[in-house]
Amino acid sequence: MRNELKVIFSNTSLILSYLSLYFLFFKNYYNRFSLKPEYIFISIPLVWSIVSCFIYIIGWERDSLWDINVVYCADLAYSLNLNPYTDWSDNPTCQESTPLQFTYLKLVLDVLPFSLFEYNFFEKLWVAFLAILLLIYAYISTKLFNLKTNIIFNIIFILVMFEGANIVALQAGNISALVYLFVILAIFLYRNNRKKFYFFPLVALATFVKFHLGILLLIPFILDDKFNLKGYSIFFAVLIGLFLLNYFIHGSFIAQWIENLAYTDWGLKPWFSDLSILQPLWVNNIRDVEFNAIFKVLLAPLFIINLIYFKKIIANKFTDEETKDYLLVLCCLAFILILPRLKVYDFLIISCVTLKIYSDCIYSLFNKKKIVSYISLIILLVFYSAITYWRPQWDGSNNSYYYCIAFYLLYQSLVYCRAKMLE
């Protein structure tokens, strides 16, 4: 009954959001407010999402920080001369009945001396660290796209985007929050021609921890007018160097590390496998989650071709900076759409990027060209759906994947129409 009430309240909030959009957009009531339109147009779903998060947090009775707990315990085990891959749960302060396992290379623990702290203190320290990281994400996002929104608004926006997936990601305390800091910093530096060199070693560091982040090499491939041989060489040199260093220092743990990789789940899945027309391809052959991962890998060339072709379409229509911003947003969305193993914490980086989409959408709402205005209106409706929820998104659902598809197609259409206007 309690959950049913939450669903009702959530749906009511969504309906009220649509009604507010009618009066704000079609009746021009937004002119009566002194606030910026980007604050007004999303106020109702934003308020509800904050309430939903509050209700969720106060109703949570189980432990949090379960992901970072594994890393802490693995480091603690190693400090006690135990095997971090097999004996991490032997300590009574660590979780004992969890299917989770330490799945990172041992070198990661050498630079994360978690075991120096008592766990209760470490837990508080990590929460404070996550709060600082969130502030940095919001700040870099603001500077990356020269956004006009307040940094507090940006923090709330990032937290509640994609049905609050980032709430769960931060609750888990996953190390990805730190790893993705390298990614967004790399993207920020890449936008500076004099500092784009640093993109490649930073992404290499991130890839060493999370292998799938190597897909981010798609960004310079699309944005650069030429193949950046030097940059890619640096990436592979750093990545291979880290693997060799791990092998020479901790080679005895390689076998256990490979064995523990089997505990890594496939993460979120778009429900391609639920389509009856596709089921003969995987039923009695592979698991549905594996089928979805393969399906997304097969989608990758289509997105790459699309981005290359789209770059040619908008070439010389905008300033060089604007063109790079548009392509960067689309590349990040494509990263999510083709990622074989997608988890809730992967939406952190894309939530920062959607700030740019939202900003462009708001300032295109009242464009004289109707098609631009209506596409912006549809994008705003997608934002309403992506933000309004009664419970933050867990691994059991993946509506956010389809929100990303909608953002990709609609934002590309918006940029295309803008380009046509300039001809």
* Cα 280 to Cα 178: distance, rounded to the nearest angstrom: 40
* Cα 203 to Cα 147: distance, rounded to the nearest angstrom: 24
Q: How far is CA 282 from CA 102, 127, 264, in A?
A: 30, 41, 20
* CA-based end-to-end distance of the chain: 57
Looking at residue 359, what is its pLDDT? 92
- For CA atoms 205, 208, 212, 218, the dihedral sign is positive
Nearest by Cα to 129 from 199, 72, 61, 75: 72
* Cα 48 to Cα 156: distance, rounded to the nearest angstrom: 12
* Cα 231 to Cα 237: distance, rounded to the nearest angstrom: 10
Q: What is the DSSP letter of 106?
A: T
Looking at residue 204, what is its pLDDT? 93
Q: What is the DSSP letter of 210?
A: S
* Cα 11 to Cα 5: distance, rounded to the nearest angstrom: 10
Neighbours of 165 (CB within 10 A): 30
Looking at residue 97, what is its pLDDT? 47
Structural domain boundaries in the chain: 63-422
Tokens 């310079």 belong to 220
**pTM (whole model) above 0.75:** yes
Q: Note whether 16 and 42 are within 8 A (CB).
A: no
Tokens 């429900």 belong to 271
Burial 329-365 (b: 16+ CB within 10 A, else e): bbbbbbbbbbbbbbbbbbbbbbbbbbbbbbbbbbebb
Q: Extract the residue ranges of the chain whose pLDDT is less than 50.
A: 1, 97
Read off the pLDDT of residues 255-307 as tens digits, 9 standing for 90 and up: 887 777 777 766 776 666 667 777 776 666 777 667 777 888 888 899 999 99
Looking at residue 414, what is its pLDDT? 94
Tokens 């939202």 belong to 358
Strand partners of residue 312? none
